[in-house]
Structure 1
Amino acid sequence: MRRVHGGFANRMYRLDTDQGSFAVKELNLVDRRSTYRAEDVLMFERAAFAAGIPMPEPVSASSHTLVHRWVEGQKVPEAPVPAPFAFEIGEILARLHALDVEWPHASIEDPTPRDWPELAERAAATGQPWAEELASHVQTFLAIARFVDTCERPGPVVLTHRDVQPWNLLARDGRPVLLDWELSGMLDLSGELGSTALSLAKGPGFDSIEPTIFRRVLDGYVAEGGTLPPAGPSWFVYMIGGWLGHTRWNILRCLAGAEASTGPDLALSHESARAGIRGLPDMFGRLPELEALLG
């Protein structure tokens, strides 16, 4: 079994056996940001796999380890995807949302943390390389937290993957394969569609958004029988809120000053923290421009 580097939250290994190859994911047990419901996620994955959703076959799941069949494919770069690829992702989401799977957990969100001034002070005191940038954006991060807590979600709420991003996709013969299901759960539909369509329509920043690719995701969703929710900022609040939480989590990992025994490498946490500190204020400032994609 050998480690495959690059995971943003957990650690991945490839296990080659006489019964085939498997992806073995060691879940982060040190500072997990939310409860992982292993049995329920596995049930959802098995239903999706049985329905023909392109994904690795789920083998087993526990509170600390996930096992799937290994799938060969090409990594999807953080760049606008081809139009047929975007369209098929929309179709996949519609099929996924139509599955009849019971999910026994209500979607309960805790208030967004507002400790950004304290984090900036700690970053400066410990000499973090991004401390000055964080200090300059404290008020913006507080405004983002208020937006995440107060933005109205129009519904409906669907059981879904919740993290369809380029780094959770493979391309196999030019078609998508959906990986990394551990964040599955209930989510406002607009948040799922907005996060997915935007992530597939842009490069690393927000200067290269392709509106036609954004729309192709939605076109695929409608073509497969899905109904689009009303336009508004709710389409982007889930992506902003998720990125805010991910940035804060990585900042706390960096402030600890030592690499944890599970989860991402410390160097990757620094990279993720800096990316969020720079990228989130930019995204938040472009909300009107992003909402225009829905028109």
Structure 2
Amino acid sequence: MNLSDLGTPVAPMVRVHGGFANRMYRLDTDQGSFAVKELSLVDRRWTYHVEDVFRFERAAFGAGIPMPEPISADDHTLVHRWVEGERVPEAPVSAEYGFEIGEILARIHALDVAWAHGSIEERASRDWPELAERAATTGQPWADELASQVETFLAIAHFVDSCERPGPVVLTHKDIQPWNLLAREGRPVVLDWELSGMLDLSSELGSTALSLAKGPGFDDIQPSIFRSILDGYVAGGGALPPSGPSWFVFMIGGWLGHTRWNILRCLAGVEVSTGPDLALSHDSVRDGLRGLPVLFGRLPELQELLLR
């Protein structure tokens, strides 16, 4: 990484652990502090449109969206101004925080930014029986759990591919989750924009609102917090799409793909130089094997409880 344009370092660059897909470092120089993200290059899950995302970020920052200032981007490295703030725990946020997130989403969706790429999603993989067999053969610690959920994961894949998306499609962040947020003086700061792109509005709202209205599992979901995000979105000038399973299909499909990606990393059994550490991949696999079937099974309840 050539970071000479950021100034003269005043301390060694330090890795900041915890990333689920890439690796983050903090660099302090005589020109300030920077977040330097090294993109996963070995087994990237999606095409990353560097120039388009950077232009979108610059537009959002220029419009006053609370976020780190984007400094530079290329195929290997993203650089942002470092922002101090408190990490947002995986727990229901306050109604005030949720309301402001809704307003932020409405402002993001109102940005006039050209985007050359559509919202085409790849079909969900159907190789779960083969993955379960490989997991058993290689002695993975979660092999039995995967084998017991193969039919459920095939059903989830079918749901992801067949669920109707009502539209409209918007250019948006696509990944506003607790781990991609900070709280600065109690107010949101939105991090990690590299997944940005076109997405069905209901999927963006459902994924964001559910993630901020619950704890680590699905036993502590607060409908009032879910609603606060939607109220903020309307207050910010947005219009809500019709209710239905599409509100949760992107969240389920993304989690399904993330789980499979980490399964493949674990099956390879190699500690690669980019992306999450192997131990974190094992944790992500266990979370997916246990959490996805629960979320999928509660879809009717979620629609009734959260979207009434």
TM-score range, shorter chain: over 0.9
- Give me the whole-angstrom Cα distance separating, in 2, the residues matched to 1:186 and 1:290: 24
Q: Which letter maps to 2:269?
A: G
1:207 is aligned, of 198, 203, 219, to 219
Q: Which letter maps to 1:59?
A: I
The residue number in structure 1 matching 2:254 is: 242
TM alignment of 1:2-41, pairs within 5 A:
2-41=14-53
Unaligned 5+ segments in structure 1 are none
1:7 shift after superposition: 0.3
TM alignment of 1:210-225, pairs within 5 A:
210-225=222-237
TM alignment of 1:143-154, pairs within 5 A:
143-154=155-166
- Give me the whole-angstrom Cα distance separating, in 2, the residues matched to 1:124 and 1:282: 23
Q: Does 1:262 align with 2:274?
A: yes
The residue number in structure 2 matching 1:164 is: 176
Q: Does 1:95 align with 2:107?
A: yes
2:202 is aligned, of 182, 190, 209, to 190
Q: Does 1:285 align with 2:303?
A: no
- The alignment partner of 2:97 has SS state of helix
- Give me the whole-angstrom Cα distance separating, in 2, the residues matched to 1:290 and 1:198: 9
Unaligned 5+ segments in structure 2 are 1-12
- The alignment partner of 2:129 has SS state of helix
- Give me the whole-angstrom Cα distance separating, in 1, the residues matched to 2:293 and 2:37: 32
1:214 shift after superposition: 0.1
- Give me the whole-angstrom Cα distance separating, in 1, the residues matched to 2:194 and 2:61: 15
Q: Which letter maps to 2:206?
A: G
- Give me the whole-angstrom Cα distance separating, in 2, the residues matched to 1:110 and 1:234: 16
- Give me the whole-angstrom Cα distance separating, in 2, the residues matched to 1:199 and 1:106: 25
- The alignment partner of 2:92 has SS state of coil
- The alignment partner of 1:117 has SS state of helix
Q: Which letter maps to 2:46?
A: S
1:259 shift after superposition: 1.0
Q: Which letter maps to 2:307?
A: L
- The alignment partner of 1:13 has SS state of strand
1:116 shift after superposition: 0.3
1:167-200 residue CA offsets vs partner (Å, 9 max, x unmatched): 0000000000000000000000000000000000
1:107 shift after superposition: 1.6
- The alignment partner of 2:48 has SS state of coil
TM alignment of 1:116-155, pairs within 5 A:
116-155=128-167
- Give me the whole-angstrom Cα distance separating, in 1, the residues matched to 2:92 and 2:224: 10
Aligned residues: 295
1:142 shift after superposition: 0.1
- The alignment partner of 1:135 has SS state of helix
The residue number in structure 2 matching 1:70 is: 82
- Give me the whole-angstrom Cα distance separating, in 2, the residues matched to 1:234 and 1:106: 18
- Give me the whole-angstrom Cα distance separating, in 1, the residues matched to 2:122 and 2:298: 25
1:200-248 residue CA offsets vs partner (Å, 9 max, x unmatched): 0000000000000000000000001100000000000000000000000
- Give me the whole-angstrom Cα distance separating, in 1, the residues matched to 2:270 and 2:76: 22
1:108 shift after superposition: 1.4
1:273-292 residue CA offsets vs partner (Å, 9 max, x unmatched): 00000000000000011101
Q: Which letter maps to 2:167?
A: G
**What is the TM-score with the length of structure 2 in the denominator?**
0.95
Runs of 4+ in 1 over 2 A off after TM superposition: none
- Give me the whole-angstrom Cα distance separating, in 1, the residues matched to 2:120 and 2:170: 14
Percentage of identical aligned residues: 81
1:111 shift after superposition: 1.1
- Give me the whole-angstrom Cα distance separating, in 2, the residues matched to 1:221 and 1:270: 36
The residue number in structure 1 matching 2:6 is: none
The residue number in structure 2 matching 1:228 is: 240
Q: Which letter maps to 2:277?
A: D
1:54 shift after superposition: 0.1
1:255 shift after superposition: 0.3
The residue number in structure 2 matching 1:44 is: 56
Q: Does 1:79 align with 2:91?
A: yes
1:274 is aligned, of 261, 271, 286, to 286
The residue number in structure 2 matching 1:294 is: 307
- Give me the whole-angstrom Cα distance separating, in 1, the residues matched to 2:258 and 2:199: 17
1:110 shift after superposition: 1.4
- Give me the whole-angstrom Cα distance separating, in 1, the residues matched to 2:119 and 2:185: 36
Q: Which letter maps to 2:288?
A: G
- Give me the whole-angstrom Cα distance separating, in 2, the residues matched to 1:97 and 1:69: 23
